[in-house]
Amino acid sequence: MPYMRLIKLLYFADRASLLEFGRPITGDQYVAMKLGPVLSTVYDRIKAGEWGGLVRTSGYNLELIGPEFIDPLSEAEIEILDEVSKTFGTFDHWQLSDLSHVLPEWNDTPKNGTIS
């Protein structure tokens, strides 16, 4: 999976969780980058290859190589992730980027600024 696609899907999941429960799933900080909102810590870890042997990076792609880890997630968080997967699962990373460009929080934040 292209890492941009993962980052966008996680952003949409966090956004849905914030709207529904007032808190994100990841707890990450968001930055308004050129191609849309980015989860700062996730992006930094992808770029640095810091995944503790769970994910392999190859160019712009990620591959899960370790066991799946879902225990820390609540049922509500899993439901949100499932819904995001159903809603956006057929979208590629460029389509997700385009969708993120219509979000007010991205448009209202200076580029490379922190989205609050």
Q: In angstroms, rounded to a whole number, what is the distance separating the alpha carbons of residues 32 and 34?
A: 7
Measured from the Cβ of residue 73, the count of other Cβ atoms closer than 10 Å reads 13
- What's the angle, vertex CA 108, arms to CA 103 and CA 113, rounded to 5? 105
Mean pLDDT for all residues in the chain: 90
pTM of the model: 0.86
Which pLDDT does position 105 carry in this prediction? 96
- In the predicted model, what is the mean pLDDT of residues 13-32? 96
Cα dihedral sign for 97, 56, 84, 114? negative
pLDDT at 108 over 70: yes
Which pLDDT does position 52 carry in this prediction? 66
pLDDT higher for 47 or 68?
Answer: 47
Which pLDDT does position 51 carry in this prediction? 67
What are the tens digits of pLDDT across the range 50-106?
666 777 777 777 777 777 665 688 999 999 999 999 999 999 999 999 999 999 999
